């Protein structure tokens, strides 16, 4: 399948209306559906779509790739979400649509296009993979990452919806089809466009006046050009006396952009809101006498994936290794370079095709030591399923039955791409891996049998969807 960029290049360079028609076929319904959110009436819905395709036909400098992203930004530009409303139950798509569309432009580019294509345009996973040029098996990963980041943005904006509710809402997006006659009109724009930037699209003027040749005593004087170029909500007035007015008009845009850049550099920038640091010591800490548990021989996966050059990976390479202290608790975070490229225990997720991982890791040696509290430094991925996801099982010396600690979503663990403090766990560390904000939790557990020596601990997955990860384990005497 030819890429969008290849089709536009073919139209621009070869004046091929068939290539433009293919772009209309790909994006007319998507653009029309976006416009109908603003104006349900047919004619009013068609106007912003027509303007967007006119810009495409003119090869406007505003056009960018992926085209799904550009159409969304172009047609939704004037929209603002209404005030966030506290929901008693899960909101419907109609209730969350404005907030979702407002949050999408802030998503990382790597996940923005997959979300737009898969859910808002209704493409199949295979089609989505083809459009973004990704392996079909990796597309679900990008979609899950996108949903988690979108959920985080919605929460930051004050709109309440669970990950499950957001996913259900996206799956329920109504599909709109542009009328066939309107699609034909859009395809005809290929014949009115020139396949390359016109004066209008190059300069984006809101007013143009070219001077005439003045004659004084039968002698020709210089030509005069006057252009008002739109910049943001204002403009720049350009005036020039010149013998070759056409040459000047073609260089005017560069001068306007330089003036705009100078103005932007002098514009005061807003002070960013500082991120929380999550350094306060946990209130659960009593004695402050800790010992760490060695997980090295139980690790199943690296924190840092192989990469080429400056390639970004959705991994834990940003998490500091070695002896670290999070929320007043020391942890031994394993450096994979010293442990055969393994640094974390991750457990199976059949749903997301990580079946090479074990369902459980048993016999994590505790050294028959007593402890009042255990502190699990843990996390999970693809965490949209509610309820119990797995367990820790604490085995005591001389006692047959273990103590079972349920691992429950939104209670003592949350998704690493949606880090937030919950009732039984705290954000221990938060940072960015280049693709988005990620975090890991400290889960303090009070041992109901502090007088019994602990022999070992098991880490078990229910394999209901999320991938569970344990980075470190510490005990308090």
The tens digit of pLDDT for each residue in 123-174 reads: 888 888 777 777 777 777 788 888 888 888 888 888 888 877 888 888 888 8
Residues 215 and 353 in one domain: no
pLDDT tens-digit map of 223-248: 444 444 444 444 444 444 444 444 54
Answer left, alpha or beta for residue 54, where phi above 0 means left and psi between -120 and 50 means alpha: alpha
Q: Are 125 and 34 in contact (CB under 8 A)?
A: no
Tell me the whole-structure pTM to 2 decimals: 0.52
Counting the structural domains of the chain, the total is: 3
d(CA 45, CA 33): 8
> Residue 219: pLDDT above 50?
no
Residues 339 and 413 in one domain: yes
The arithmetic mean of pLDDT across residues 10-38, rounded, is 80
Report if residue 331 sits inside a domain.
yes
The pLDDT assigned to 460 comes to 98
pLDDT tens-digit map of 279-293: 899 999 999 999 999
d(CA 398, CA 452): 8
Phi/psi of residue 260, nearest 5 degrees: -65, -40
Phi/psi of residue 366, nearest 5 degrees: -105, -5
Mean pLDDT estimate for the chain = 78
Residues 249 and 321 in one domain: no
The arithmetic mean of pLDDT across residues 351-378, rounded, is 95
Q: Could you tell me the maximum CA-CA distance found in the chain, to the nearest angstrom?
A: 116
Residues 177 and 239 in one domain: no
> Residue 439: pLDDT above 60?
yes
The arithmetic mean of pLDDT across residues 28-38, rounded, is 80
Report if residue 151 sits inside a domain.
yes
Q: Are 329 and 426 in contact (CB under 8 A)?
A: no
Residues 249 and 133 in one domain: no
> Residue 189: pLDDT above 60?
yes
The pLDDT assigned to 229 comes to 46
Where among 192, 219, 237 does a domain terminate? 192
């Amino acid at each position: 399948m030819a890429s969008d960029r290849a089709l536009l290049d073919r139209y621009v360079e070869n004046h091929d209306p068939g290539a433009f028609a293919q772009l209309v076929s790909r994006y007319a319904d998507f653009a029309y559906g976006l416009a109908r959110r603003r104006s349900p009436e047919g004619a009013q819905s068609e106007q912003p779509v027509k303007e967007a395709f006119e810009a495409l036909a003119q090869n406007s400098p505003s056009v960018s790739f992926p085209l799904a992203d550009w159409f969304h930004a172009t047609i939704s530009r004037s929209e603002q979400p209404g005030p966030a409303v506290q929901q008693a139950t899960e909101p419907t798509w109609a209730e969350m649509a404005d907030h979702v569309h407002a949050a999408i432009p802030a998503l990382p580019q790597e996940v923005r296009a997959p979300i737009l294509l898969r859910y808002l345009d209704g493409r199949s996973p295979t089609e989505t993979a083809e459009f973004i040029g990704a392996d079909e098996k990796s597309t679900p990963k990008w979609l899950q990452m996108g949903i988690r980041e979108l959920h985080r943005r919605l929460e930051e904006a004050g709109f309440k919806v669970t990950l499950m509710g957001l996913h259900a809402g996206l799956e329920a997006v109504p599909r709109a089809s542009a009328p066939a006659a309107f699609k034909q009109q859009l395809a005809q724009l290929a014949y009115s466009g020139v396949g390359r930037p016109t004066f209008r699209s190059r300069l984006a003027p809101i007013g143009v006046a070219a001077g005439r040749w003045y004659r004084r005593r039968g002698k020709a004087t210089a030509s005069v050009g006057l252009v008002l170029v739109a910049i943001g909500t204002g403009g720049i007035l350009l005036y020039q006396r010149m013998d070759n007015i056409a040459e000047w008009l073609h260089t005017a845009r560069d001068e306007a952009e330089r003036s705009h850049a100078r103005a932007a550099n002098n514009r005061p920038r807003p002070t960013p809101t500082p991120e929380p640091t999550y350094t306060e010591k946990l209130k659960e800490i009593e004695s402050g006498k800790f010992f760490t548990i060695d997980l090295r021989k139980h690790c199943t996966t690296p924190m840092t994936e192989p990469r080429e050059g400056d390639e970004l990976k959705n991994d834990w390479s940003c998490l500091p290794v070695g002896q670290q202290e999070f929320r007043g608790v020391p942890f031994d975070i394993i450096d994979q370079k010293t442990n055969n490229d393994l640094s974390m225990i991750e457990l199976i997720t059949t749903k997301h095709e990580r079946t090479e991982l074990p369902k459980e890791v048993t016999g994590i040696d505790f050294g028959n030591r007593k402890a009042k509290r255990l502190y699990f430094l843990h996390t999970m991925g693809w965490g949209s399923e509610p309820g119990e996801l797995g367990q820790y099982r604490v085995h005591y010396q001389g006692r047959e039955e273990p103590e079972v600690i349920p691992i429950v979503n939104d209670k003592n663990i949350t998704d690493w791409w949606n880090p937030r403090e919950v009732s039984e766990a705290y954000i221990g560390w938060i940072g960015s891996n280049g693709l988005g904000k990620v975090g890991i939790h400290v889960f303090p557990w009070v041992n109901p049998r502090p007088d019994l020596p602990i022999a070992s601990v098991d880490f078990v997955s229910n394999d209901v969807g999320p991938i569970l990860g344990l980075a470190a384990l510490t005990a308090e005497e």
